[in-house]
Structure 1
Amino acid sequence: MSVNLEADNDSVVLGESPAEAGTRRVIDSPHLHKLQRRHFLLFGVGPALGTLCALLLLFFRPIGAPEIVALFVMWAVTGLCVSAGFHRLFAHKSYETGPIVRSLIAICGSMAGQGSVFAWIAIHRRHHECSDREGDLHSPNLAGPGLRGKLKGLLHAHLTWMIAHPFPNVSQYAPDLMRDDRMVFVNRHYRKWVVLGLVIPALGCALYEHSWWGLLTGFLWGGMVRMFVLAHGMWSLNSFCHLLGKRRFETSDGSRNLAWLAPFIFGESWHHNHHAFPRSASFGLAWYRIDPGFWFIRLLGGLRLARNIQVPSAQQIAQRTAR
């Protein structure tokens, strides 16, 4: 799940007072669309171009161990903090943690460049409210019948919805986060965290290789390529996981599970399970299903950094399956 708003809230519609704008569920304005297009170009198109440059440079110098480590470590850190943080902790309150860990998770999740913490949570909660119905900003199932409709919906859900869309009002969808001063601070400095996520791998490779070339390749592989790979993995939840895969429970939407994708997107592709049990910290709902996001939460619990981890009982799962 990705969003494309880079401002703190931007909930004021042109021609409306802040009080009037604050009562609207979604907000649509040329000002917001301009911000959304800019975010899409910077953090959607930008990493794609950076990935292309990284691949072209392979003709001049092969990728080394520092770049591979930078890519994997930054992908794992930012991806886990989007999956276990933005999604399970902030959007669904599947577990609790202390203010320091909470803030660090929010900062590292912001480095993914998939939207500020307020914007990400507001859009995701809107998605659950209107899943695969009118109002869902990135459903692939609302573009018409037949193969043409499915392909058009797939493209919309995976990519083009981010160019311009009505924005769920943060004051309506994320008031709990707005009351948290630490989250307000993290949200306000969103773009700085994205830049930090690019600087860290660049400096790491430069210092290890003692060269300007290391600075460039660290920036490209640990920054641009990492953002590109992570983004398309998470965007597949909007597109492929509402079109392809298996269903186990009765839900009102078209969510589906894609088991083979789970190792690559931190267990997020148990998407149908998640829609059946939104409060569950476990998306796999079984120990043998690959769910790195949940494993990370269990690790935090083992370190006494997470508590009240929500997981449905076997009886609750069986009852839901029977229905």
Structure 2
Amino acid sequence: MNLERPAADPGRSRPSEEHARAPSGIVLDEPSTADSRRQPDIRPLWAQVLLYVFIIGPFAAAAVGLWYATTVSGVSVVDAVLFVVFYAVTGHGVTIGYHRLFTHRSFTATRPLRIGLAIAGSMALEGSVICWVADHRKHHAFSDADGDPHSPWRYGASPWALTKGLWWSHTGWLFDRHKTFTSRYAPDLLADADLVRVDRLFPVWALSSVALPGLLGWALSGFTWHGAWTALLWAGLVRIFLIHHVTFSINSVCHVVGSRPYASRDRATNVWPLAMLSMGESWHNYHHADPTSARHGAEPGQVDSSAAIIRLFERLGWATRVRWPDPTRLRARRRVP
């Protein structure tokens, strides 16, 4: 485990031009002077209220679920299966779709796959696809430096400052009403009519993410309201809670503790206990060393279900131009002992 102050003050470092570019050539540095003179893009009040509902609601549901499972009826097989299916579909929608495809262009996908991944990612309730990508590209442009939306080193490296920083990077930053400029960080997605449509329909996908498990639980339990309620609880709300906090842990835990076998300009780390739940995202050190790689768990034995599914898509002809790591790239990015 590695817990130490960054080599340089993250609040004063600036990203290099190499790291400030997306694969498409989009410049991912701070907003231009013209951008800075514009009125800040503020999240409307209704959206801010819904954000609180999306974050606090699943958290409360997890507490209710724990009480219900231990004192009332446990967890049925139907609920468990629906939980796993919805977790896998929506979680991989984020890791494969939102992250590796739309943010970093680690591969090229057919139109149906692009749309399907965007919808699946939306159903994780981590935000609409264009806003999510803009935030994440800005994170990579300023990772652990001034301008990073969610660095745990935001307040410094003392124990109290790092405690505040971990809270900020894990959840606190989400409630900042200032939005990332999508026109600056995701112009390619704004030019994609399919993704703009999916983005605008985010409320529909959010409602479906909760309603579908309930409907399936109702049908699979013999059309009982109890079956609908428990499926909505476990495969809907508790599943969203777990996906949220696993993803949030990549922003927080995976920039503070863990191993750093590869050279990156920030504090991104590998945290192996999260690998399965995060679907390979917690091999975060290699990801920051080689952001466009379609595989994050690049070493033998490193679980990365997202990469395995991308490999399947490639074999089916649905994914092309996949950027796989190779021995030369791995050696070039490995830290010198």
Q: Please report the TM-score for the alignment, with normalisation by the length of structure 2.
A: 0.86
Deviation at 1:23, TM superposition (A): 4.9
> Any idea what the Cα deviations from partners look like across 1:90-128, whole Å, max 9, x if unmatched?
000000111111101100110000000001000000000
Q: Per the alignment, in what secondary structure is the counterpart of residue 51 of structure 2?
A: helix
Q: Per the alignment, in what secondary structure is the counterpart of residue 274 of structure 2?
A: helix
> Any idea what the Cα deviations from partners look like across 1:139-175, whole Å, max 9, x if unmatched?
0012123111111111111011111153211111111
The yes-or-no answer on 1:259 pairing with 2:262 is no
Following the alignment from structure 2 to structure 1, what is the Cα–Cα distance between the partners of residues 294 and 33? 31
The yes-or-no answer on 1:288 pairing with 2:283 is no
The yes-or-no answer on 1:73 pairing with 2:78 is no
Q: Decide which of 245, 251, 261 is 1:232's aligned counterpart.
A: 245
Q: Decide which of 9, 12, 34 is 2:45's aligned counterpart.
A: 34
What is the match of residue 185 of structure 2? 173
Deviation at 1:39, TM superposition (A): 3.6
> Any idea what the Cα deviations from partners look like across 1:148-204, whole Å, max 9, x if unmatched?
111111111101111115321111111111111110110000011011111111111
Contact 2:48 2:177 (C-alpha < 8 Å) held by counterparts: no
Tell me the percent identity.
33
Following the alignment from structure 2 to structure 1, what is the Cα–Cα distance between the partners of residues 119 and 107? 18
What is the match of residue 114 of structure 2? 102
| Residue type at the aligned position of 2:290 | F
Given the superposition, is the C-alpha separation of residues 23 and 177 from structure 1 closer, same or farther in structure 2, using an over 3 Å criterion? farther
Q: Please report the TM-score for the alignment, with normalisation by the length of structure 1.
A: 0.89
The yes-or-no answer on 1:269 pairing with 2:290 is no
Q: Decide which of 304, 308, 313 is 2:326's aligned counterpart.
A: 313
| Residue type at the aligned position of 1:226 | R
Q: Per the alignment, in what secondary structure is the counterpart of residue 152 of structure 2?
A: coil
Deviation at 1:313, TM superposition (A): 1.9
Following the alignment from structure 1 to structure 2, what is the Cα–Cα distance between the partners of residues 165 and 296? 35
The yes-or-no answer on 1:242 pairing with 2:255 is yes
Following the alignment from structure 2 to structure 1, what is the Cα–Cα distance between the partners of residues 142 and 75? 44
Contact 1:25 1:168 (C-alpha < 8 Å) held by counterparts: no
Given the superposition, is the C-alpha separation of residues 191 and 217 from structure 1 closer, same or farther in structure 2, using an over 3 Å criterion? same
Q: Decide which of 182, 203, 214 is 2:227's aligned counterpart.
A: 214
Following the alignment from structure 2 to structure 1, what is the Cα–Cα distance between the partners of residues 44 and 230? 33
Q: Per the alignment, in what secondary structure is the counterpart of residue 43 of structure 2?
A: helix
Gaps of 5+ in 1: 1-19
Given the superposition, is the C-alpha separation of residues 218 and 196 from structure 1 closer, same or farther in structure 2, using an over 3 Å criterion? same
Following the alignment from structure 2 to structure 1, what is the Cα–Cα distance between the partners of residues 189 and 282? 26
Q: Per the alignment, in what secondary structure is the counterpart of residue 260 of structure 1?
A: helix
- Structure with the bigger percentage of helix: 1
Following the alignment from structure 1 to structure 2, what is the Cα–Cα distance between the partners of residues 27 and 38? 25
> Any idea what the Cα deviations from partners look like across 1:226-251, whole Å, max 9, x if unmatched?
00001000000110000000111222
Q: Per the alignment, in what secondary structure is the counterpart of residue 114 of structure 1?
A: coil
Map 1:18-167 to 2 at 5 A: 23-24=34-35, 29=40, 31-32=42-43, 34=45, 37-58=48-69, 59-167=71-179
Aligned residues: CA RMSD:
2.0
Q: Decide which of 316, 319, 322 is 1:303's aligned counterpart.
A: 316
Given the superposition, is the C-alpha separation of residues 161 and 61 from structure 1 closer, same or farther in structure 2, using an over 3 Å criterion? same
Gaps of 5+ in 2: 1-30
Contact 2:261 2:335 (C-alpha < 8 Å) held by counterparts: no
Following the alignment from structure 2 to structure 1, what is the Cα–Cα distance between the partners of residues 38 and 262? 33
Following the alignment from structure 1 to structure 2, what is the Cα–Cα distance between the partners of residues 80 and 156? 25
Q: Structure 1 residue runs of 4+, over 6 Å off?
A: 25-28
